[in-house]
Structure 1
Amino acid sequence: MKRSRFLPWLGFLLGAAYFLLPLIATVEFSMRIKREAYSFGAYANVLADPAFRQTFTYSATVALFTIVIGTVLVVPAAYFVRLKLPALRPFLEFITLLPLVIPPIILVFGYIRMFNSSSLLPLTSTAQGTNVLLTFGYVTLSLPYMYRAVDTGLRAIDVQTLTEAATILGAGTPTILMRVIFPNILIAVLSGAFLSFAIVIGEFVMASLLNRPAFGPYMQIIGTNKAYEPAALAIIAFIITWGSMGMIQLLARFAPKTTVHAD
């Protein structure tokens, strides 16, 4: 019994050290901007930089639109495939895996060729159009994670029974999706949303090649020009990301339970 408990704890401690030690070293390095004492000067410099607030606000806004669009696309598709077209599930899984196989640089070059100023839909000719193109590019990148999170949530519930019960009570398809299915997979959707947010915040290739003022290119610029501020910026991004995950877990605790409403 003692040996069976020791090995899991040893694995846990080794895993924790693997993740925490680099984080602790980064924090320690970020506070050495003054040679004789630890200081939060690097953090103050980053937070006082207007470009930090502008780029993070931009990326957070794009991430919000990415999450909304991804949810609207994935939830109905995964629901109908599981309910009525299970034979298409392998095909859908293959399609959603393609963004993991195709590098982002190839995707963004394809977008630029398809939507340049000489095409029928010249999105790259305006800043707003480029923002839309970048958002849909992020939707593509987050598709594998959002789809698998939603699919896992659908596996955990009896979709057929819930749909039949709601239909008997007179609910239409939009009502079933919004008031029956979605509340039951809210935690799964939030998990996919968190992964999408993390992808958008740290993404560099698409935002850089489309020349958008995103957080990823800003981090790269800071990393090439300064020494301690990049470490501070990495810790700040880590805190924001984990804070977002904590908020997601908090919201998930208050998620509504299974209910069936009639129109």
Structure 2
Amino acid sequence: MKKLLAWAILLLGITYFILPLVGMTEFSLSMRRGVYSLDAYRAVLADPRFHQTFGYSVIMALLTIVFGVLLVVPTAFWVQLKMPHLRPVVEFVTLLPLVIPAIVIVFGYIRLYNTSSWLPLTGTTFGTNLLLMLGYATLSLPYMYRAVDTGLRTIDVATLTEAAQSLGAGWTTILARVILPNVLVAVLSGAFVTFAIVMGEFTMAALLNRPAFGPYLQLMGANKAYEPFALAVIAFVITWACMGLIQLVTRFSKHTKAAR
């Protein structure tokens, strides 16, 4: 009876999540009256704004991932190796983006770095892009930090560091050639989550007036009927592709370790 009830709850949950997706996909294929077609997808993919915004968000996602790795990996490594007593403080700080709304963060950026401030970043395209990247890095910090911290806990950081130092390696070499390869799966997991966050983020990009994919999706939703659903399907596929890549990388890593 318990097993039957568990299966019933699982099927109910699957139905709850799957039916809206099926309806969304079905509507996106109904642009041509009476038959299913890919007209909405063709219209979206032929729109120059789609290519511009999608390419912009991909570039920003990659820059955010690089910045996040350079920030989080050394921090998590140093906390675990030298300052374990500060772990609760660091964990609290990295959780703040989950409780502070993105709109508050971006308004703080605008207030601090507008054209009349001491550092007028919003006055240039480069400065605004930099602020947006920092904002994305802030939003992804809870996920990136926890992924890296979990990866570091699975290895003996102190022993690896002492062994590398005994061979004459410096801190940069230790991080790049010893620690990073051992937590690469964790880093990739955080990177894929970061990519998904950046591709779907709307608030920061809209308020900073940057040509990102999120504001484009909202603009299409306000002016078109079928194309927004096609865009939503594309965004959903991108997100789930990132989740699938996390699973593939994790399984590949497990098989590699088992073979060794």
- Pick from 171, 174, 195 the counterpart of residue 173 of structure 1: 171
1:159-194 CA-partner distances (Å, limit 9, x unpaired): 122222222233221121111111111111111111
The answer on whether the counterparts of 1:131 and 1:212 sit within 8 Å (CA) in structure 2 is yes
For residues 141 and 173 of structure 1, what CA distance do their matches in structure 2 show?
28
- Would the aligned equivalents of 2:144 and 2:190 in 1 still touch at CA under 8 Å? yes
Q: Which residue matches 1:150?
A: 148
Per the TM alignment, residue 240 of structure 1 is displaced from its structure 2 partner at its CA by 2.3
Of 137, 140, 158, the match for 1:139:
137
Could you say what secondary structure the match of 1:212 adopts? coil
**Structure 2 CA distance for aligned equivalents of residues 95 and 230 of structure 1:** 36
Residue equivalent to 2:14: 16
- In structure 1, what residue type is equivalent to 2:147? A
Q: Superposed, which structure 2 residues align to 1:16-165 within 5 Å?
A: 16-165=14-163
Letter in 1 for 2:236: F
TM-score of the two chains, using structure 1 as the length reference: 0.90
The question of whether the paired residues in 1 share the 8 Å contact of 2:45 and 2:51 is answered with yes
Query: Residue 76 of structure 1 aligns to which amino acid in structure 2?
Result: P
Counterparts of 1:252 and 1:66, CA distance in 2? 22
Identity between Structure 1 and Structure 2 (%): 65
1 CA distance for matches of 2:219 and 2:124?
Answer: 24
Distance 1:96 1:102 in 2: 11
1:166-224, Cα deviation, whole Å (9 max, x unpaired) = 22233221121111111111111111111111111111111111100000000000001
Aligned to 2:207: 209
Distance 2:41 2:58 in 1: 20
Question: Separation in 1 of the partners of 2:252 and 2:173?
Answer: 21
How far residue 249 of structure 1 moved from its aligned partner, in angstroms, is: 4.7
Matched to 2:61, the amino acid is A
Is the 1:186–1:252 Cα contact (8 Å) retained in structure 2?
no
1:34 Cα deviation from its structure 2 partner? 2.0
Q: Equivalents in 1 of 2:2, 2:165: separation in Å?
A: 51
Code of the aligned partner of 2:36:
Y
> Does the CA contact (< 8 Å) of 2:196 and 2:238 recur in 1?
no
1:157/1:9 CA distance change after superposition, 3 Å: farther
Deviates more, 1:221-230 or 1:244-253: 244-253
Pairing 1:232–2:230 present: yes
Contact kept, 8 Å, 1:134 with 1:210, in 2: the verdict is yes
Alpha-carbon offset, residue 251 of structure 1:
5.1
* C-alpha contact 1:157 1:184 (8 A) present in aligned 2: yes
Asked whether the 8 Å contact 2:147–2:187 carries over to 1, the reply is yes
Distance 2:104 2:24 in 1: 33
Question: Cα 1:10–1:165, aligned 2, differ >3 Å: closer, same or farther?
Answer: farther
In the other structure, the counterpart of 1:261 is none
Point out where structure 2 has 5 or more consecutive residues left out of the alignment: none
- The whole-number CA distance in structure 2 between the counterparts of 1:94 and 1:252 is 27
d(CA) in 2 for partners of 1:252, 1:54: 32
C-alpha separation in 1, matches of 2:160 and 2:85: 21
Cα RMSD for the two superposed structures: 1.9
1-structure distance, mates of 2:169, 2:253? 21
Distance 2:20 2:181 in 1: 38
Query: C-alpha separation between the residues in 2 aligned to 1:234 and 1:112?
Result: 29
Secondary structure in structure 1 of the residue aligned to 2:137: helix
Of 235, 239, 242, the residue aligned with 2:240 is 242
Structure 2 counterpart of 1:190, one-letter code: L
Unpaired runs of 5+ in structure 1?
259-263
